[in-house]
Amino acid sequence: MNELQYPFFTGILYHTGSPALSILLWLLCGLYALLGALCYAELGTTIPKSGGDYIYIYEAFGSLPAFIFLWIALVIVNPTSLAVIALTFAQYCLKPFFPNSEVPDESARLLAAWCILALTFINCYNVRLSTRIQDILALSKIFALGMIVFAAIIYLAQGHLEHVTIEKLTENSNTGPIGIALAFYSGIFSYSGFNYLNFITEEIKEPNKNLPKAIYISLPIVTLVYILVNMGYFCALSTSEILNSDAVAVTFAHRAMGPFAFLVPIFVAFACIGSLNGIIFTCSRMFFAGARNGHLPELMAMINIHNYTPMPSLIFLGSTSLIMLFIKDIYILINYLAFSECAIVTMAVAAHFTHFIQGLLLCVPGETPQ
């Protein structure tokens, strides 16, 4: 989950125009993600195989749609996700060194590339180390979000109410369909991690029990936290300040957190690393599953005999992500990515209904579908 990362937050506000409409979009995107996650929970327990969307599309619609999806994920979706989040990591790391100017583009892309390479190496080297890093960084993300919400409450309690009037929250609202659609794309990306556990179903203990539980608990909490964080930003910053900021969380911290502002870029950078590590770990397993079915080169189905990691898949994913760093406009990346993700989720949900209908047709009298 990626709410801390600035392109998605400012992307929603840029296209909706007002804080109130922006918060409504965050809520709608959360409900959309929850509906999708519920379908994925049932798919994960019905088809307990690693590979996520690819496996579900393969089982429901056959080889050709699964092949097309896999290559879209391989070339567009996952490399773009890594590139966008790595660039966000670089922005937050470098912003303290350029407080009064923009972060140099070349420096940000170089640091983003270094981060992708380092995490790819860690995942190639040791799965246990990767999962330990993920656990630690997940806690840092929760702490960072909680810190922003708490700081916003204190800021309001001190009497700073100039940004929370009805007029300020609703002015410049853009209700046009194009703006809403583009804002929805940015919002969906922030919730895009809801299906990643399905990529590693075979590596989860008791997936029939733990996979649905993880989804049922996490999505409502994440949606609530995202909305609270957005409300916190809007309490301290104007719309123009948010849209003109290279790092919204840092701008907020300087306004509302005083001497503790230095903590925010540190924890946001940790959160970005956690997101990157999670994508690299889970998505490489999907490519591994696709190669086992002959939809990718056989090399991608191989594992390192010493570390038992899908090293060829990891190296390929890291390499394609580095290529995506050459695209200059980050919002183009987000729009391409969000459109592709929406199409993929739609196919996976259609696979869910296909399995349900097939179950009904196979039922004999007196039995109910599982």
Confidence of residue 111 (pLDDT cuts 50, 70, 90): very high
**Quick check: is 246 in a domain?**
yes
Most confidently modeled range among 56-60, 82-86, 346-350: 82-86
**Quick check: is 1 in a domain?**
no
State mean pLDDT over 310-336.
Answer: 81
Angle, CA 29 vertex, CA 23 and CA 30 arms, to 5°: 90
State mean pLDDT over 212-229.
Answer: 86
The region that residue 52 occupies, defined by phi over 0 for left and psi between -120 and 50 for alpha, beta otherwise, is left
Distance in angstroms (rounded) separating the CA atoms of residues 126 and 16: 43
Q: What is the pLDDT of residues 168-215, one digit of tens each?
A: 788 878 888 888 888 887 787 778 777 777 777 777 778 778 888 888
Q: What is the pLDDT of residues 11-52, one digit of tens each?
A: 788 888 888 888 999 999 888 888 888 888 888 888 877 777
Confidence of residue 99 (pLDDT cuts 50, 70, 90): confident
User: Higher pLDDT residue, 122 or 358?
Assistant: 122
Cα torsion 279, 60, 349, 57: sign? positive
Decide: helix, strand or coil at residue 91.
helix
Specify the range with the lowest mean pLDDT, choosing from 77-81, 303-307, 339-343.
339-343
Q: Looking at residue 319, what is its pLDDT?
A: 92
State mean pLDDT over 226-232.
Answer: 88
Q: What is the pLDDT of residues 133-180, one digit of tens each?
A: 888 887 877 888 888 888 989 988 888 888 777 887 888 788 888 888
Which pTM value belongs to this model? Answer: 0.74
Confidence of residue 358 (pLDDT cuts 50, 70, 90): low
Q: Is 333 exposed, middle or buried (0-12, 13-18, 19+ CB in 10 A)?
A: buried
State mean pLDDT over 121-143.
Answer: 84
Contacts of 29 (CB under 8 A, 6+ apart): 184, 187, 188, 190, 191
State mean pLDDT over 228-249.
Answer: 84
Specify the range with the lowest mean pLDDT, choosing from 37-41, 88-92, 256-260, 359-363.
359-363
Mean pLDDT in the chain? 81
**Quick check: is 368 in a domain?**
no
**Quick check: is 369 in a domain?**
no
Q: Looking at residue 3, what is its pLDDT?
A: 45
Confidence of residue 112 (pLDDT cuts 50, 70, 90): very high
**Quick check: is 202 in a domain?**
yes
* Percent of the chain whose pLDDT exceeds 70: 91
Q: Looking at residue 367, what is its pLDDT?
A: 43
Confidence of residue 110 (pLDDT cuts 50, 70, 90): very high
Q: Looking at residue 121, what is its pLDDT?
A: 93
Structure tokens at 345: 């989720």
* pLDDT at residue 284 tops 70: yes
What range does the domain containing 353 cover? 6-362
Q: Is 362 exposed, middle or buried (0-12, 13-18, 19+ CB in 10 A)?
A: exposed
* pLDDT at residue 322 tops 90: yes
* pLDDT at residue 285 tops 70: yes
Find the CATH number of the domain harbouring 334.
1.20.1740.10
CA atoms within 13 A on the CB side of 191: 30
Of 130, 80, 143, residue with least CA distance to 274? 130
Q: Looking at residue 92, what is its pLDDT?
A: 82
Identity of the amino acid at 132: R
78-94 helix and 6-16 helix, angle to the nearest 10 degrees: 100
The number of folded domains in the chain is 1
Write down how long the chain is: 370
Confidence of residue 368 (pLDDT cuts 50, 70, 90): very low
Contacts of 17 (CB under 8 A, 6+ apart): 172, 173, 174, 179, 239
* pLDDT at residue 269 tops 50: yes
